[in-house]
Amino acid sequence: MFHETLSFLTRWSVSSLPRLRFQALNVIALLISLVGMSNAEPIACESLDPVAAARSIYRDHEDFYAAEMSNSLRDVLSDRLAMLLSDESKCKDKTGRICAIDFDPWTSAQDGDVVDPMSFVLVSNGSIRATVRFSYHLSLGPPGDPQSVLIGMVRGSTSSCWRLDDLQMPSNRGSLKAKLERFYRAKSSSRPGVHKDP
């Protein structure tokens, strides 16, 4: 029995060596491609057009400013805006109260819904920054009096996907990102032992 097993192993390994080499190369190629894929972008861009990307972000993540920070939400926000909104979420969880954002930044209002007609129009477009004007009517606003918000979009040097970076809010409320940065800068400087830089 021992001799038969040894004979089989010898015959199998010698006769199948070229096939094993080929299979080993296939496995190595597969591993290399998997490693390459792990460095790839996690999601495919819904659109390379900043207007279509802004429309998609509004449609799918209208409540981005109040939503839990999920991977799908993080994928459509700039890194800085995602970090600021995470701070906002932590503040609300910790205090149980409203923190920096006490209104809908799309409308600068606490009440009312966006209603038709709505439009998304490209205002400026560069290689890594674009601005889209989102115009709409507010359900509680005067009829025929449209509002608009400027949507700042960015994309990184390693990503072709457009991401939401900021909103220039209606009613002269200014930049959402700047509002968050001011709030959390003031909050951190008011902590004991934390001093403002000169």
Q: What is the pLDDT of residue 193?
A: 46
Residue 144 has pLDDT above 80, yes or no: no
Question: Higher model confidence: residue 187 or residue 148?
Answer: 148
Q: Which of 156, 123, 152, 131 is nearest to 45 (CA)?
A: 156
Q: What is the pLDDT of residue 4?
A: 58
Please enumerate in sequence order all residues whose Cβ is within 8 A of that of 69, keeping only pairs 6 or more positions apart, or say none.
82, 85, 86, 89
Name the token pair of 31. Answer: 């591993």
Domain ranges within the chain, ordered by starting residue: 50-186
Q: What is the pLDDT of residue 27?
A: 40
Q: What is the pLDDT of residue 177?
A: 97
Q: Could you report the per-residue pLDDT of 5-55, keeping only the tens digit for each? A: 445 444 544 455 455 444 544 444 433 343 343 333 344 676 789 999 999
| Mean pLDDT computed over every residue of the chain | 79
Cα(198)–Cα(195) distance, rounded to whole angstroms? 9
Residue 88 has pLDDT above 50, yes or no: yes
Q: Which of 67, 64, 91 is nearest to 165 (CA)?
A: 64
User: Which fold is adopted by the domain 50-186?
Assistant: Nuclear Transport Factor 2; Chain: A, (3.10.450)
Q: Could you report the per-residue pLDDT of 106-141, keeping only the tens digit for each? A: 999 988 899 989 999 999 999 999 999 999 998 886
